[in-house]
Structure 1
Amino acid sequence: MLNFSFNQEQESFQAMLRDFSLHELLPQYTKWDREHKHPRHLWKRLGELGVNGLRVPEEYGGSGADCVIAGIAAEEIGRGDFNLTYAVMLNALVSEIIANHATGRLKKTWLPQIASGDKIVGIAITEPAAGSDVAGIRSTAIHKGNHYLLNGEKSGISAATIADAFIVFAKTDPDSGSRGISAFIVPADLPGVECKGYEDMGNVPIGRGSIYLNDVEVPEENIIGLENKGFTQVMNGFDLSRLLIGLQCIGAAFQSIDETIEHVKTRHAFGRPLAKFQGVSFPIVTHFTQLELIKWQAYRGLWLRDQEKKHTKEAASVKWLGPKLSQEAIHECMLLNGHYAYTKEMPIEQRLRDVIGLEIGDGTAQVNQMVIARELIGKDFRSY
């Protein structure tokens, strides 16, 4: 049986978040970008609403919600404040890694604080010489006595300047390729950890930057899962985060379309509303249709994950086309709104800058196409 509708619980959650997003988040969306600030109080507020702990088990202060509900949260919050959707996407990825692989002590320490919004935990994988090729990371973690000694540099890390801790991936067996990677929880205030922010064109309030690890002593109990098994942990998590990224971009694009529809219905040219010109209405229809198709592919992927069915190619397709089609739609909305939309008086220009950044993170278009090709044709025919 096919059923493309949300259940009552999901519809209620969607309505609550839509109201919160449009009335509490949207009016201040551009403020944090202009002031170069992260609204920690709003991250905490999302914790109170249960958003941060959607993928945290109930026993650790979360709701243990299904992936479809997490997708609803990403889409709806993306309408109001694109950067605060990291409270959904980032927390979902981090929470799953900790809940599925960490020790009981680490779960009790970190999961309740993630769910409440008291702590922000980033994920540090990318390096200057290793982006999409996760197996190529060079950071090392050498086991010495009762601790690991971490050295290396992580780059392009979301929440680098605002996080309280990071899940850091490093080589514990440098000669074993992807099989020699381990994951650790590394508090940001440990001696030897240095975080520096970037001057990015978008996603400014999320504090992206580099993390430098210089002889950082991490207690051996802070390892997540088995030594040398970190690669498989994160690769499974990418399937979830890619679906959520697609929906957060789509949420921002749909909000831009809704605002643009109101504009073209009320703005007149040559004696009639702009909406009556096919050159205006047809582009809106085109973008709406494309976004709807990717949106439901995303929810299908999340449903498959909830059913514990394979969804790698679905996630890759959403990550490839979700940000791409969203930025194209937002760009069109900017043009249809005229020169005011190019100013910082309206949120459209910031949405465009913010969404473009997610065309890179969690796998570029080319990488995701390679993933799809591998799934369709087979691993023996992959090009990397």
Structure 2
Amino acid sequence: MNQTICNYLERYCRKFLPILFRIRLSGKIHVVSVFQLNEEQRQFASIMREFAEAKIAPHAVEVDKSETFPWNSYKECLTMELPSLGVPSEYGGSGADHVTQAIMVEELARVCGSTSLTMLISKLGMIPVINWGSKYLKEKYLPNVASGKAQASYALSEADAGSDVASMKTTAVRDGDFYILNGAKYWITNAGISDTYTVFAKTDSTKGHRGISAFVVEAKWGVKVAKLEHKLGMRGSPTGEVIFEDVRVPVENRIGDEGQGFYIAMGTLDRSRPTIGAQAVGIAQGALDYAAQYLKSRNQFGHPIAEFQGLQFMVADMATKIEAARGLVYRACSLIDSDPENELSKIGAMAKMFASDTSMSVVVDALQLLGGYGYTTDFPMERFLRDAKITQIYEGTNQIQRVVVAKKILG
């Protein structure tokens, strides 16, 4: 090959291939990001690791055992201004990119799943406001969430309307300058703790999913918590049934237009699922880290069991799965910032699905590495296992994620 051409190709590859590959497929150019953390993100990850180990981990066992909201851990998160990361700077937040937010969630989940969920849920409740809310709603609610003075919940699911959102029964009837809200929402994270609830309700029952609208509802307007669930995992994060009985909601608290609620709900989940993937990665990493230390300290037949090749192979497979999941999560998070209307729905579903399946697989293997000790409450593996399971279920089961991915590919 001509030397000039070789030199050109070398310069071209050095400049562009680390950034992206362009693959021509079916007559279209698909752009695949090759993601790498920048120096600021690496430093943030290191700081978060130290913070979580020192300030969050000491409370994790008691939070899980008592099934109480992790107030001590939450207050520690406020000292780091973590709730502000997901809020735009013009409304009192830090305006951090979504990969940085994922790093925060992962490092918290590595030591305490419940605490990571406290940081996730208010952001979830405010995603509709950030992306589709009026300036009035943004100015009224986002600063308090950013400062940690207020918390938010996301109220979409109902007893008979989980994945089938269009089957919801909650209604919002216009009455002058108000909507009258009636109905019940199930599986609401932060029930009884949150100051606001982003609620989806039927404003026109004749239009199916096109008749759904979204509202910011303040708890003090008459929101009732009927019961709290006793759960397998994430026990420090309250989950409950929320009741609305003739709750009067000002028209200005509607998010977007009437009938836009289904679109807002789906767009919100597209933007939140990747950080559930980050939570799953964190749980898996915490389990692997603990198991690795155990293998190095446990002696059998006169040697640390870390020297046994069969166990080494398990660790290698676990670490590889986690790294693959993390890369997919980071890619999905980067799409939230760069391309939310194109590939995010598919890649976000992939990230949540793959990371949560990986988390369950890795934690089960980590527990196995501890043998009988892993099966007791004296060690954290059983807590990691219980916390990991919900990541395969909430914000859309992994079966639903596979439906999303398949539809995007097959049309």
Going from structure 1 to structure 2, the CA distance change for 1:192 and 1:275 (only over 3 Å counts) comes to closer
Asked whether 1:46 is paired with 2:77, we answer yes
Asked whether 1:97 is paired with 2:128, we answer yes
Partners of 1:153 and 1:358 in 2: how far apart?
A: 24
SS class of match (2:187): strand
Give the match for residue 209 of structure 2: 178
Give the match for residue 313 of structure 1: 346
**1:251 CA displacement:** 0.8
Asked whether 1:31 is paired with 2:62, we answer yes
Q: 1:335 aligns with which of 368, 373, 376?
A: 368
SS class of match (1:376): helix
**1:7 CA displacement:** 1.3
Partners of 2:157 and 2:312 in 1: how far apart?
A: 42
When the two structures are superposed, what TM-score results if normalisation uses the length of structure 1?
A: 0.94
Partners of 2:143 and 2:278 in 1: how far apart?
A: 25
Partners of 1:194 and 1:305 in 2: how far apart?
A: 33
Partners of 1:22 and 1:229 in 2: how far apart?
A: 42
Question: Is the CA contact 2:56–2:76 (under 8 Å) kept in the aligned structure 1?
Answer: no
Question: Is the CA contact 1:54–1:92 (under 8 Å) kept in the aligned structure 2?
Answer: no
Partners of 2:132 and 2:335 in 1: how far apart?
A: 21
Superposition map of 1:1-384 within 5 A: 1=16, 2=19, 4-191=35-222, 193-308=224-339, 309-378=342-411
**1:88 CA displacement:** 3.6
**1:62 CA displacement:** 0.3
Which structure: larger Rg?
Answer: 2
* CA deviations over 1:117-138 (Å, ceiling 9, x no partner): 1111000000011111222211
SS class of match (2:393): coil
Question: Is the CA contact 2:172–2:202 (under 8 Å) kept in the aligned structure 1?
Answer: yes
* CA deviations over 1:111-170 (Å, ceiling 9, x no partner): 111111111100000001111122221110001122111111111111113212210100
After superposing the two structures, state which structure 1 stretch, 40-49 or 275-284, moved more: 40-49
* Structure 1 portions without partners, runs of 5+: 379-384
Partners of 1:199 and 1:192 in 2: how far apart?
A: 21
Question: Is the CA contact 1:162–1:206 (under 8 Å) kept in the aligned structure 2?
Answer: no
SS class of match (1:173): coil
Partners of 1:125 and 1:275 in 2: how far apart?
A: 47
Question: Is the CA contact 1:51–1:87 (under 8 Å) kept in the aligned structure 2?
Answer: no
Going from structure 1 to structure 2, the CA distance change for 1:192 and 1:276 (only over 3 Å counts) comes to closer
* CA deviations over 1:7-35 (Å, ceiling 9, x no partner): 12211211111111111111211111111
> Which amino acid in structure 2 is aligned with residue 351 of structure 1?
F
Q: How much is the aligned-residue C-alpha RMSD, in angstroms?
A: 1.6
* Structure 2 portions without partners, runs of 5+: 1-15, 20-33
After superposing the two structures, state which structure 1 stretch, 228-237 or 44-53, moved more: 44-53
Partners of 1:33 and 1:165 in 2: how far apart?
A: 25
Give the match for residue 31 of structure 2: none
Going from structure 1 to structure 2, the CA distance change for 1:218 and 1:73 (only over 3 Å counts) comes to same
**1:333 CA displacement:** 1.2
Q: How many residues align?
A: 378
When the two structures are superposed, what TM-score results if normalisation uses the length of structure 2?
A: 0.88
Percent identity over paired residues: 35
Partners of 2:132 and 2:380 in 1: how far apart?
A: 40
Partners of 1:281 and 1:145 in 2: how far apart?
A: 68
> Which amino acid in structure 1 is aligned with residue 277 of structure 2?
G
SS class of match (1:189): helix
Question: Is the CA contact 2:197–2:217 (under 8 Å) kept in the aligned structure 1?
Answer: yes
Question: Is the CA contact 2:356–2:392 (under 8 Å) kept in the aligned structure 1?
Answer: yes
SS class of match (1:62): coil
Partners of 2:85 and 2:128 in 1: how far apart?
A: 14
SS class of match (2:115): helix
Give the match for residue 382 of structure 1: none
SS class of match (2:184): strand
SS class of match (1:204): coil
